[in-house]
Structure 1
Amino acid sequence: MALSQIKSLRGILIPKEVGQILDRRAFSAGASKKKGKGGGAADAPKGSTLSKEVKSTTTVGANILKDGTDPKVLADSEYPDWLWHLLDKRPALSELKRKSAETLPYEDLKRFVKLDNRARIKDNNSVKATN
C-alpha cells in the first residue's frame, strides 16, 4: 500500500532517479538474468527415448530400488484375484443403513461399523466445537 502511494506521488515529490530505484525489485543475481527469445522451446517436454516394445512389456518408473530394474508386465492370470477387486465400488454409509444388519455380509458389516463410528465422532466433534 505504501509503495502505491509513493508511486502516485512520484511525479510530484520524488525525482525520477529515486523513483526508478524504488520500482526495482531485489532478486538474487541468478534469478534476475533474463533468457533470450525462444527460451520456451528449450522448456518443451522431450520425446521418450524408450521403444514401444519396452513400454508395453515393462512398467516404466515403478522401480523403487537404487540398483533395481523396472518390473515386467505379467499375464492377468499370474496376478492374485484380490488385485482385480481393488477398484470395485463399495457401498456408502447411507446404503448400508437402509439394509438390515443381519443380512449384510461380514465385509459390509465391518465397513458399516467403521463408517458409523466415523460419522458419530464427526457429529460429536462438531457439537463440541459449537459449545
Structure 2
Amino acid sequence: MAFTLMKSLRGIVSSELIRAVGARTFAASGGKAKKGSKGGAATAPKASTLSKEVKSTTVFGANILKDEQDPKILPDSEYPDWLWHLLDKRPALSELRRKDLETLPYEDLKLFVKLDNRARIKENNSIKAKN
C-alpha cells in the first residue's frame, strides 16, 4: 500500500521526500535500551565458555543437523590422501600447452582437455556474438 501511495505521489512530491518516506529504520538491539545507556552503544563480546580441550578436539559450526553433535577432529592419518592436495596450485592452460602432451600425467591431461574445451567454447561464443 505504501508503495502504491509513493508511486502515485511521484509526480507531485520531490524525489528526496519520497526517499525519506520510503526509508526504513530498524532497532539496533531489538529490545528496550538498558537504563542509563545510550541508544547506539556497542556491547563488548562475551568470553567463550568452552574449555581449550574441547576447542581443540571439535569443529564448531560444522554440524548442520538439529539433533546431532559437532564432529570431532580426527588425526591426519584418518583423512583420505586427496584431501591434502585440494589446495595445490594447478598449472594454467598456457603452461600446459607448452608441455609435451605425450608425457603429461593423467590428471594434468584431464585438466588440459577441460581448460582447452572451455577456451574453445568462449572463443566460439565471442565469434557468434560479433555476428
> TM-score when scaled to structure 1?
0.71
Q: Supply the distance in 2 between the matched residues of 1:87 and 1:81 (Cα, whole angstroms).
A: 12
- Quote how far apart the aligned CAs of 1:115 are: 0.3
**Aligned with 1:26: secondary structure?**
helix
AA matched with 2:89: K
The aligned runs of 1:72-87 (5 Å cut-off) are 72-87=72-87
AA matched with 1:3: S
- Quote how far apart the aligned CAs of 1:89 are: 1.0
CA, structure 1 residues 100+53, in 2 after alignment: closer, same or farther (shift >3 Å)? Answer: same
> TM-score when scaled to structure 2?
0.71
Give the unaligned 5+ runs of structure 2.
Answer: 1-12
The structure whose residues are more often helix, as a share, is 1
**Aligned with 1:67: secondary structure?**
coil
The question of 1:31 aligning with 2:25 is answered yes
CA, structure 1 residues 26+86, in 2 after alignment: closer, same or farther (shift >3 Å)? Answer: same
CA offsets per residue over residues 72-94 of structure 1, 9 Å max, x none? 11111111111111111111101
AA matched with 1:126: S
Percent identical: 72
AA matched with 2:83: L
Which residue in the other structure is 1:89 paired with?
89
**Aligned with 1:39: secondary structure?**
coil
Give the unaligned 5+ runs of structure 1.
Answer: 8-21
When Rg is computed on C-alpha atoms for both structures, the one with the higher figure is 1
When the two structures are aligned, how many residues end up with a matched partner? 112
CA RMSD of aligned residues (A): 3.0
The question of 1:3 aligning with 2:14 is answered yes
Q: Supply the distance in 1 between the matched residues of 2:114 and 2:50 (Cα, whole angstroms).
A: 46
